[in-house]
Structure 1
Amino acid sequence: MAYEPRFTISSRLLSLVEQIAVLRERIQGAAVELSWIPALQKDTRTRNGHASTAIEGNPLTLEQVRALEEGRELAAADPRSSREVLNYFAGLRYVEKHARKNTIRHEDLFKLHRLLADTVMDQGEAGFYRTIQVRVGRHFPPAAAEVSGLMFELLEWWNRESMKLSPVLSSAILHYQFEFIHPFADGNGRTGRALALWELYRRGFDSHHIFSVDEYYWEDRPGYYKALDSVRLAGHDLTGWLEYCAEGLRQTLERVWLRVQSFSVKSSEKLVLRPRQEQLLKLLRDHGSLAPAQLWESLGVSRQGAMDLLRPLLDSGLVEKIGGKKTGRYALKQP
């Protein structure tokens, strides 16, 4: 039996897909200046590695993950936590290397899972479909005897039918159905998110590999799991899940646009935005300009904390102060 995803193109979903297209075009247009692409790719790889493993409970901070990405050792960190992140980087490199592969086979999934889960599985064997029944919260995935057949159907759909849909939709469908089947004994979350990313790469949606949707899922972890569960509760109608993933991709692209602006400024040192700095830039973009007190109140930080966030943005030329000393306000610097 062929896999046939069931969903409706709601007005909200259509609007989100259109907004995503506009944001993507803006980002692609800015990518003419390629000198900053490697730095942005490195930053994205770090954020993906942190977010996807953190969703599964990995305790390492973003800065610790950044250190691992740069090849530095973490003497004080739990070895398994470090290994999970390093494995994720290996899996990500595999996906990047095979980004435009036309046909994805079982062997490709086994290789990816082996890279992601080697030596960090609680049960089962890396690179092989499960032979045991598993439980995910209140969800009992299909029996082990059904896994191979269901994965064959999913791969057939991915290789033959997914191209008929927007990659925004096909990546989300692939993500959900993989998690529903839960084909491996452990490590399915990381693998499913890596496959969704692979689909975006494969379709040329993220040709420069600078999007980190997993950050959205990590920051909204309860909402992420609720959205996954909602499909089962809706009789396997994927509409709500597709809307959730599209909203996540839209917000991700908004963040990428801010990062593109920070990396493309004409300064000797490219700026890697911290989450609070992204929030600050979004506030300035939405409000036009803000007084210092408005900034630190909106960010929930002290006056000194706000200045620590602002200083690199001012030095890089991304933000400027306008008005007098007592009446000054901060705004995004116009090109």
Structure 2
Amino acid sequence: MRRHRIAAIPADGVGKEVIPAGLRVLEALARRDGGFALDVETLPWGSDYYRQTGVMMPEDGLETLRGFDAIYFGAVGDPDLPDSVTLWGLRLKICQGFDQYANIRPTRVLPGLTSPLRQVEPGDIDWVIVRENSEGEYAGHGGRAHRGHPEEVATETSIFTRAGVERIMRVAFDIARSRPRKLLTVVTKSNAQKHGMVMWDDIAAEVAKNYPDVTVEKELVDAMAARMVRKPASIDTVVATNLHADILSDLAGAVAGSLGVAPTANLDPSRRAPSMFEPIHGSAFDIMGKGIANPVATFWTGAMMLEQLGEDAAAKALMRAVEQVCADGVFTADLGGTADTETVTRAVIAAIEGANAPA
């Protein structure tokens, strides 16, 4: 039997609700499949851990995680703590520490869901947004001086390296090549940012020479946001900087129905370190503890984790179960339904257990 070691980090807010739900679904899938097992260790890191210890994760946390095959992550953020503590002390510490430079965010309108966009038919939205995840606008380079004085100044410097841009472009081109349309849109803001963004455009053109079968487009980020709303069927694979893709992928989740169905993977394509898989929706403290958090994004994220682990058949079986439940109208409130987290989780497990074993 194939065994995979999984580090589960529910962390903050609804992460503590959806990660346990996701683990139950994955365990049901492993039982049904019979060919693999998940050895899960749940780590208590996050904002509550910070209140107890003064750190979001132990000093040797990365070394602890290095022994796992994948990381299943809930959400980070606490309204009573600054993001500079929570985000930088846990999620970004893991992403940057393991050089998880490729953030992959697929978007589809799942069966039974309705996009808020008018005249969007099933299949009109089927995107993959590739986000550079290690540098750019979130490089953390900058500072503040003369705090509290009229002359106070803050700098936030975007860092773009040739190595960083080339490698994310290769990931994006490879994904575009693997999809039927073989279409890649390179998103920048090179009309206003004439250094880093122009370098992005230049490197994209250089890498494109190695992918003659991929059609390449250029789009400014503001125009891309409008295009996602006005002409969603014209989009396939998108690559953008850390900040731009962060914003565009949240918009993508919204036009697909809800951020509650939006998954993501933080990948180290070299596989030198474990990759991390997390739903996009964040800690959502406004609904924490109410039992109504949408677990679909966490399930879809779990399917992406299974793909990375080489369990492709199981990943497809999981998505079939999720799509069946959505098509049956078992929705949480964010999708206009009345089901709670537990009801959706049980429905997906029932769909897995009632299905034929993955082929």
Query: Does TM-score exceed 0.5, indicating one fold?
Result: no
Greater strand content: 2
Greater helix content: 1
TM norm structure 2: 0.29
